[in-house]
Amino acid sequence: MNAPVVLFTYSRAENTDAVLQSLSKNYIAEETDVYAYICKPRDDKIAPLVQATKNILLKYSTGHSFKSFNIIENDKWIPLGPGLVDAVTETLEKYDKVIVVEDDLITSVDFLTFMNDALDYYENENSIFSISGYSFGADFIKKLNDPVYFVRRNNPWGWATWKNRWAEYKWIPTDYLDYTHDRKFRKTMKLWAKDLPMLMDALFMERDRPDKDWEQQFRYAQCINNAYTVCPKISKVKNIGFTGMRTNESPVGLEEYFEPGESHYSFTSVKIDDNFQRKYNNKFIFGFRHRFMLMISESVYRISPALYYRFLKLYYKSDKSIEEVKETFRR
């Protein structure tokens, strides 16, 4: 049985239509159930854009591009983080696996085939927590001999997982608070993503941060379970969502390596190369602000974890210290 697709949409009608056009051209689209999630507009200003997106979804719900096309409309506005997590959790109450696509991801004709084949192949390989349909054209990736590779960090641009792996996901992973002053564990976390410790700290210290993020928590789940992501050498996903963004907000250095047609793939046993991981992780530190904050955070932490958390309290204008945050969750 093919995995269902969860499509998370909101106010980008043109992008949503492009995403669904590409998804409908997939070889097994007519054998795939799609669950399109959309919520109420946050305010009247955005309402026409949300309605335009909903009209696109309604067009596909009456067509025959997919096995079924189901629109799930939340009766209130819900931020991306909790909205996506709720959608994945709800879908995995009915299925054992799921493919997740957001409204800015164009897919190749064999994207669904690749994702389902990978889900089947690695289902019993517990060290694999997620499948990514995305890759980029760095030389160190192009030179790989195998058509797939393995990384520690997850990637949110067209991904898939299983119910039992998602069960390890925690929206607020309070166990992280036991490791805030553990230098060795912090070093381990950086193997999964250089900025993972910094972003996990932000999850607890920055107001409303959980409304913005969901992927860091999944990355953390992969870390504590010593688990990985499998990726295709040639990307089966293209992100079209960065048009109009300022340079310091958009990814720089992720050279496109997308093939809209079919590209060969086969699967191999899990291989982790630390040098490859370092090169891969370095590609996801975007913009001056991101690099600067990472450098400052790690420098201050090396001097003193206590000083570092006092710095974060000031930076995020938090009304609680890290110790007070811990005490809140212990109650």
Residues 123-133, buried b or exposed e (16+ Cβ, 10 A)? eeeeebbbbbb
- The pLDDT tens digits for 260-303 are 999 999 999 999 999 999 999 999 988 888 899 999 999 999 99
Residues 75 and 194 in one domain: no
Instruction: Please classify residue 197 by burial: count the beta carbons closer than 10 Å to its beta carbon, then call 0-12 exposed, 13-18 middle and 19+ buried.
Output: buried
In sequence order, what DSSP letters do the residues of 230-299 get, joined into one string?
Answer: EEESSBSEEE-TTTT--TTTS--S----B-SS------------HHHHHHHHHTT--HHHHHHHHHHHHH
Q: Please give the average per-residue pLDDT across 304-321, as a whole number.
A: 92
Residues 23 and 161 in one domain: yes
pLDDT at 244: 44
Domain count for the chain, please give it: 2
250 pLDDT exceeds 60?
no
- The pLDDT tens digits for 84-99 are 999 999 999 999 999 9
Q: Across the chain, what does the average pLDDT equal?
A: 92
Q: How far is CA 206 from the centre of its chain?
A: 20
Residues 67 and 158 in one domain: yes
In sequence order, what DSSP letters do the residues of 60-85 get, joined into one string?
Answer: HHTSSSSSEEEEEEESS---HHHHHH
pLDDT at 254: 63
Residues 193 and 259 in one domain: no
Residues 170-192, buried b or exposed e (16+ Cβ, 10 A)? eeebeebbebbeeeebbebbbbb
Instruction: Please classify residue 67 by burial: count the beta carbons closer than 10 Å to its beta carbon, then call 0-12 exposed, 13-18 middle and 19+ buried.
Output: middle
Domain end residue (candidates: 269, 285, 301): 285
C-alpha 253/C-alpha 134 separation (Å) is 14
251 pLDDT exceeds 90?
no
Residues 162 and 299 in one domain: no
Residues 108 and 42 in one domain: yes
| Nearest by Cα to 151 from 317, 302, 279, 43 | 279
Using CA atoms, how far residue 258 sits from 19, 99, 119, in Å, is: 15, 19, 21
The domain that contains 127 carries what CATH number? Answer: 3.90.550.10
Q: What domain range includes position 298?
A: 177-207+287-331
Using CA atoms, how far residue 5 sits from 78, 92, 293, in Å, is: 20, 11, 36
Q: Please give the average per-residue pLDDT across 216-243, as a whole number.
A: 93
pLDDT at 248: 36
Residues 164 and 201 in one domain: no
Residues 255 and 325 in one domain: no
Identify the band that residue 163 occupies on the pLDDT scale cut at 50, 70 and 90. Answer: very high
What element of type H or E holds 35? strand 33-39
Residues 264 and 148 in one domain: yes
Residues 181 and 272 in one domain: no
Residues 51 and 151 in one domain: yes
pLDDT at 243: 58
- The helix/strand/coil state of 214 is coil
Residues 73 and 192 in one domain: no
